[in-house]
Structure formats: C-alpha cells, structure tokens
C-alpha cells in the first residue's frame, strides 16, 4: 500500500456494471475516494447502494468495469483465496450486526485475525481489549451477543471490523435496524473513526449524520450516481431534480 501516493485515490471505480439475472443493478458507476476520507452513499432503496458497497470488497463480483482498492484490482479477484488480502484491507459492518452468536464478544473480535490472518492470539487479544475500550464496551468481553442490546452488538461488530486493521471500513446501513435511542451511540463511534482519519464508506439513511461527517456524498438512483460532491453543496444546493425530491422526502420525514 505504501507505493500509492497520498494524493491518489484509495478507491477508484470506473464504469462498473452489475446485473442480477435480467435486473441491471449498477449501470456504469464511477467514483473515487481518497485515503482518510469519509464518503456517504445515499439514495432511494433499490438504487444499488448496498450492491455498490459489496463490490468494493469483492462480496459481489462485477460484470464490467474496474474497481481498484489500494493496489488490488478487485474485479479480477474471483477466488476466495485471492480475496483474503483484500478482506484484510477492507472491513465491513452490516445492518443486522451478524455477530457470531456461538462466540463471546472477545472471541468475535479475535477470531478472524487469528484464524484468517494467522496473527498470534495474545497480540490480537490485547488489540481487541483496546478496541472494546474504543467502542465503549470494556467489561463485556465474556458476554454473548444475545445478551447485548442492538446498539452494543453493532459496536462489537465495528470493533470486529477494526480488529482486521483495515485501510477502509464499509458501513451498510448500520443504524437502520436499531431502536432510535441506540442510533446515536453507534454514530458516535463512526464519527470518532472518521475524525481519526479512517477511510469510511457509508451507505446510510441518516442524512444529518452524513452531512456532518462526510467529506464526499454520492447520490445514487436506479443504478447510477446521479450527483456527487461535498455535503454542503449536495444537501443545500442539489442540482438534480431527483436528488432534490429525494431530500425533500427524507428530510421532511426526519423533521416530522
């Protein structure tokens, strides 16, 4: 990764196409995100946001176009074995937390670095304890996921993603399944990460949060990026009528 200059984008997509059967989900998406930036992808449901996110770490293979993350040409990586180093660089946090229910909080965090990356367990455990402190869950090491609230589980999931020591973290609507009072505790953790210079890509419906933390916002609709730019422009001076109408709908809903 050192060979990449600080100025060159860390993530670069060019004309990415993806279909599921007859449904074309991504119709030529191009975007670039620099190291240390926080990018938010917003848009109506079914616009391809989550698919786009999953293309970045190779969970979904693309039909056409190129995806570069750091030194990896993601679109060329098809075998699970080849994807391991990419997954080391790019972590992901999911809407449904997806903690492993048969393992304790500590084990959830430690598992992948030990079993996948082959790192020494003691070292990873020390790191995991620091990460738990960072997501404000010290003392929950031996709890099982089912004993935690949704917000706590999601923070463990973030710690688990961080334990891979990634260069990028992808967040897929991570607050959408949470009760309202737990949303802020999860957003606070993401805000800290973003301020600390972690490259974050978020698919989110939290418009105010996106406006606050994002360096860059992408608005997707029907498989394309309709508009992108700094949050101030995008949220306050939308050029595209579809974006304007989308913002009108979601912001009035939040206000109500």
Partner 1 sequence: MSAMKPETRAFVYGISGVPVLLFVAMLACYGRGTGEALGLLADRSGILLTGAPGFRGFGGGFSANVLMSVAAIVVSVATGALLCIGTIANMRLIRLISLGVVNLLRNTPWLIALYAMLYLLPFYVPVFGTVIPFSPFVKAVVGLSLPVTANVAEVLRGGVDAIPSGQWETARALGYRKGQILRYVVIPQAVPLIIPNMMTVFATLFIGSSLAVVTGTSDVLSVANTITASDGSQYATAVQLYVLLLFFLFAFPIATLARRLERQIREKS
Instruction: Name the segment binding partner 1 (CB under 8 A); options: 8-16, 26-34, 68-76, 87-95.
Output: 87-95
With contacts defined by CB under 8 A, name the span among 1-9, 15-23, 113-121, 238-246 that binds partner 1: 113-121
- Indicate which single residue of 8, 76, 100, 149 sits in contact with partner 1 (rule: CB under 8 A): 100
Which residues within the stretch 117-136 sit at the binding site for partner 1 (CB under 8 A)? 117
Q: How far is the CB of 135 from partner 1 (least distance, A)?
A: 17
Q: Give the angle 48-218-225 at the CA atoms, nearest 5°.
A: 55
User: In terms of Cα–Cα distance, which of 202, 205, 203 is closest to 193?
Assistant: 202
Question: How far apart are the C-alpha atoms of 16 and 19, rounded to whole Å?
Answer: 10
CB of 87 to partner 1, least distance (A): 4
Residue 67 binds to partner 1 (criterion: CB under 8 A): no
Assigned token pair, 73: 């040409």
Q: Which stretch binds partner 1 (CB under 8 A): 22-30, 97-105, 195-203, 244-252?
A: 97-105
Joined together, the tokens standing for residue 244 give 């304007």
Do residues 216 and 37 lie in contact, with contact meaning Cβ atoms separated by under 8 Å? Answer: yes
Q: Which is nearer to partner 1, 38 or 91 (CB)?
A: 91
**Is 164 a residue that touches partner 1 (CB under 8 A)?**
yes
Quickly count: other Cβ atoms within 10 Å of residue 120's Cβ.
Answer: 10
Smallest distance, partner 1 to C-beta of residue 102, A: 5
| Rounded distance between C-alpha atoms, residue 218 and residue 71, angstroms | 23
CB of 98 to partner 1, least distance (A): 4
Interhelix angle for 105-115 vs 121-134, to 10°? 130
DSSP-derived 3-state class of residue 118:
coil
Chain centroid to CA 85: 17
- Contact of 4 with 167, CB cutoff 8 Å: no
Q: What number of chain residues touch partner 1 (CB under 8 A)?
A: 23
Q: Out of 111, 129, 247, 250, name the contact with partner 1 by CB under 8 A.
A: 111
Residues within the interface to partner 1 (CB under 8 A): 57, 59, 80-81, 83-84, 87-88, 91-92, 94, 96, 98, 100-102, 111-112, 115-117, 160, 164
């Amino acid at each position: 990764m050192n060979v990449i200059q600080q100025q060159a984008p860390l993530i670069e997509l060019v004309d990415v196409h993806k279909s599921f059967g007859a449904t074309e989900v991504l119709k030529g998406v191009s975007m670039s995100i620099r190291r240390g930036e926080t990018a938010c992808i917003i848009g109506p449901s079914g616009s391809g946001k989550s698919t786009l996110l999953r293309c970045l770490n190779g969970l979904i293979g693309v039909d056409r176009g190129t995806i570069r993350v750091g030194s990896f040409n993601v679109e060329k990586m098809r075998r699970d074995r080849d994807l391991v180093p990419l997954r080391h660089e790019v972590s992901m946090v999911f809407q449904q937390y997806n903690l492993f229910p048969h393992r304790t909080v500590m084990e959830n965090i430690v598992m992948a670095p030990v079993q996948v990356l082959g790192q020494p367990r003691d070292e990873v455990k020390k790191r995991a304890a620091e990460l738990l402190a960072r997501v404000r869950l010290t003392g929950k090491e031996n709890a099982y996921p089912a004993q935690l609230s949704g917000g706590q589980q999601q923070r463990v999931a973030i710690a688990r993603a961080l334990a891979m020591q990634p260069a990028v973290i992808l967040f897929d609507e991570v607050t959408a399944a949470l009760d309202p009072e737990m949303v802020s505790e999860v957003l606070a953790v993401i805000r800290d990460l973003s301020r600390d210079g972690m490259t974050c890509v978020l698919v989110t419906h939290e418009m105010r949060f996106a406006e606050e933390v994002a360096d860059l916002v992408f608005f997707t609709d029907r498989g394309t990026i309709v508009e992108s730019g700094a949050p101030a422009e995008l949220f306050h001076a939308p050029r595209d009528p579809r974006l304007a109408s989308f913002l009108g709908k979601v912001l009035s809903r939040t206000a109500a």
